[in-house]
Amino acid sequence: MRADLFFTTSFPTGVLGLPRNSLFDTDECALTLQAMNRSYGKSGFNVRVREEGKYSRGIKYTLICSVCATGQIWFRLRRVNGTTVEAFTSYIQEVVDGLPPAEQGQKNFLWDNLSAHGNDMVLNVVYGAGHRVIARPPYRPWLGPIEFVFNQLQNELRLRDYAVDNEAQFVQIIPRILTNIQGIDATFTHCGYP
């Protein structure tokens, strides 16, 4: 029912009547840099690796990212495990403070139901700046354009798998990929935003 109401009702339960360029879809994802020595550990499908090598659980990063139909992307990449209320609040504060003067006006932040997203500190930052929050329906990731941006990022990282040899290169390549992502407005349209 929430998914149906999301596109057929206006604020606060839906996005009906809101221009796409006022929507900022925000979410986070985990990125893991696996063993950096690629000379060990690769094998064919269904073949066990028997060589000694640098195998580990990897280095974990959290990427918080926001996209707008105008093509703007804001992001923060940190070497932490998960998103805290404080980290998400400071990130949203950066986004709100970093809006260009031409982009001022009421914006609508879309995100899922992660507990850090609905915290009072986060809501105070958004509402205090004159913007609004609309929760995406739960269990419907295909309604979030940010999920498709994360998919593009994952595909680009996969293409560059052997070009990344260390953590510094990993941290440098993420912003390059994100700033070159195109077609965000088309992604909003594909997700059903009028």
Over residues 135-185, the pLDDT tens digits come to 999 888 899 999 999 999 999 988 887 788 788 888 999 999 999 999 999
Per-residue model confidence (pLDDT) at position 110: 95
- Looking at residue 72, which CATH number applies to its domain? 3.30.420.10
User: ∠ CA(66), CA(36), CA(163), 5° rounding?
Assistant: 65
Helix (H) or strand (E) holding 159: helix 145-159
The band of 42, judged by pLDDT with boundaries at 50, 70 and 90, is low
Whether 43 is covered by a domain: the verdict is no
Whether 21 is covered by a domain: the verdict is yes
Q: How far is CA 169 from the centre of its chain?
A: 20
Whether 69 is covered by a domain: the verdict is yes
Structural domains of the chain, count? 1
Whether 142 is covered by a domain: the verdict is yes
| Res 36 pLDDT > 80 | no
Per-residue model confidence (pLDDT) at position 49: 56
Q: How far is CA 3 from the centre of its chain?
A: 20
In which domain, by residue range, is 9 found? 2-35+54-190
Q: What is the pLDDT of residues 86-130, one digit of tens each?
A: 999 999 999 999 887 666 678 999 999 888 999 999 999 999 999
CB 11 within 8 A of CB 131: no
Q: What is the pLDDT of residues 76-85, one digit of tens each?
A: 999 998 889 9
CB 16 within 8 A of CB 7: yes
Per-residue model confidence (pLDDT) at position 147: 95
Per-residue model confidence (pLDDT) at position 52: 52
Per-residue model confidence (pLDDT) at position 128: 93
Query: Which pTM does this prediction carry?
Result: 0.84
Whether 44 is covered by a domain: the verdict is no
SS3 166: coil
Whether 42 is covered by a domain: the verdict is no
| Res 4 pLDDT > 90 | no
